[in-house]
């Protein structure tokens, strides 16, 4: 349980100690890290694995007093869950991570803020730990009955509190239009308008896919542009398939042409930094794409949590609203699993269900037919 006498300030002063311990822990588990990095198929996956392992190492050293080494016992996993998930007490919700250790983890920059994790973050940390054990053929504590039973009870408890797994808000057509309205005719405005429309209209492209778009793989055609997908999260060998080609047409094509002309881009990456004085710089990073979406959402005054993934979920949700076939949408998005896309599609189609209008006298007309 938490110790109210602990002093976060004293923990912060131990920053050098925790960084040294972290280095030792990472060295001890280097084989695991290297195996995980080989498994990581994308930059984002690699970064998330590294972040999770670093957190495990730091937490383990501070909480248990010795380096993080595989295999990890079941008792350690149960303690990790108790430290990071809220449970009910007589005075409200609490978690078991001591305040001084919580502050030290933040000071070491392996944790963003003090307090419990979101349940999705805990599950991700456990998934990475599980993969580390599986990769080395070690007994996997995350698959133990005790851990699985506890997680099931936690999911049930969170559901009873009305807390559902967090999803970023979807940028469907209306909020997307609000973002586009913030883009003026400056170089940055032209670039951001082209980027938003390209990412959304070509099938809800991931940010890593946006920054890999070039004039070499995005060729002009009479209808606009045709973007050829190479390497992606679901095509890590870069094989060319029937679903590799993504149309960039209509307003998206017009916006892209305007940006390319203004920036005088004739080869290489489509979306680049705009430096002071209108100097066109290097290719944008995936992180820059996320920041552009968030900044434009803030400028538009949108309430909600919007990130680059909101373009992808928004495309699928809007397709559901407009009654587009799921197979056609998956051909655009390149989702590998029906389960991962069907939730967004059904959510978008919910208000178009005739069953919801049984009490109405007038015949129901889906919104997609009224456009």
Q: Does residue 96 carry a pLDDT above 90?
A: yes
User: Tell me, what's the pLDDT at 20?
Assistant: 47
Instruction: Give the DSSP H/E element, type plus range, for residue 274.
Output: strand 272-275
User: Tell me, what's the pLDDT at 229?
Assistant: 84
**Average pLDDT, integer, range 273-279:** 93
Q: Does residue 36 carry a pLDDT above 70?
A: no
Q: What is the pLDDT of residues 134-161, one digit of tens each?
A: 878 889 999 999 999 999 999 888 888 7
List of residues 6+ apart from 304 with CB closer than 8 A? 169, 297
**Average pLDDT, integer, range 278-290:** 93
Other beta carbons within 10 angstroms of residue 115's beta carbon come to 12
Other beta carbons within 10 angstroms of residue 262's beta carbon come to 18
- Domain spanning 173-352 has what CATH number? 1.10.443.10
Q: Does domain 8-160 have CATH number 1.10.150.170?
A: no
Of 9-13, 16-20, 185-189, 362-366, the one with minimum mean pLDDT is: 9-13
Domain boundaries, the chain: 8-160, 173-352
User: Tell me, what's the pLDDT at 304?
Assistant: 84
User: Tell me, what's the pLDDT at 14?
Assistant: 40
Residues in the chain: 371
Please name which of 91, 79, 88, 167 lies closest in space to residue 126, comparing C-alpha atoms.
Answer: 79
Q: What is the pLDDT of residues 46-79, one digit of tens each?
A: 777 888 989 999 999 999 999 999 999 999 999 9
Q: What is the pLDDT of residues 167-212, one digit of tens each?
A: 678 899 999 999 999 999 999 999 999 999 999 999 999 998 999 9
**Average pLDDT, integer, range 239-253:** 84
pTM above 0.85? Answer: no
User: Tell me, what's the pLDDT at 3?
Assistant: 40
């Amino acid at each position: 349980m938490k110790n109210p006498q602990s002093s976060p300030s004293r923990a912060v002063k131990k920053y050098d100690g925790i960084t040294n311990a972290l280095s030792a822990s990472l060295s001890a588990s280097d084989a695991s890290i290297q195996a995980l990095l080989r498994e990581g198929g994308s930059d984002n996956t690699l970064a998330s694995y590294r972040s999770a392992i670093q957190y495990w190492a730091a937490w383990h050293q501070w909480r248990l007093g010795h380096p993080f080494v595989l295999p990890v016992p079941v008792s350690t996993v149960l303690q990790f869950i108790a430290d990071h998930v809220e449970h009910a007490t007589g005075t409200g919700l609490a978690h078991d991570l001591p305040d001084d250790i919580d502050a030290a983890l933040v000071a070491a920059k392996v944790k963003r803020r003090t307090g419990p994790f979101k349940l999705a973050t805990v599950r991700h940390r456990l998934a990475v730990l599980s993969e580390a054990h599986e990769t080395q053929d070690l007994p996997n504590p995350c698959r133990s009955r005790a851990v699985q039973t506890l997680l099931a009870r936690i999911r049930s408890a969170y559901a009873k509190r009305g807390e559902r797994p967090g999803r970023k808000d979807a940028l469907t057509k209306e909020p997307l239009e609000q973002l586009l309205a913030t883009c003026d005719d400056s170089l940055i405005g032209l670039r951001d308008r082209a980027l938003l429309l390209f990412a959304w209209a070509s099938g809800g492209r991931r940010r890593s896919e946006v920054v890999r778009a070039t004039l070499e793989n995005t060729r002009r055609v009479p209808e606009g542009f045709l973007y050829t997908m190479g390497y992606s999260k679901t095509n890590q060998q870069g094989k060319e398939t029937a679903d590799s080609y993504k149309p960039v047409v209509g307003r998206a094509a017009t916006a892209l042409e305007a940006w390319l002309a203004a920036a005088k881009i004739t080869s290489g990456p489509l979306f680049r930094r705009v430096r002071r004085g209108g100097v066109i710089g290097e290719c944008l990073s995936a992180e820059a794409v996320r920041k552009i979406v968030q900044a434009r959402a803030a400028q538009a005054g949108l309430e909600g949590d919007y990130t680059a993934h909101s373009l992808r979920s928004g495309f699928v949700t809007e397709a559901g609203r407009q009654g587009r076939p799921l197979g056609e949408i998956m051909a655009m998005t390149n989702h590998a699993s029906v389960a991962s896309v069907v939730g967004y599609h059904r959510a978008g189609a919910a208000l178009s269900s005739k069953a919801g209008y049984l009490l109405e006298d007038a015949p129901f007309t889906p919104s997609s037919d009224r456009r």
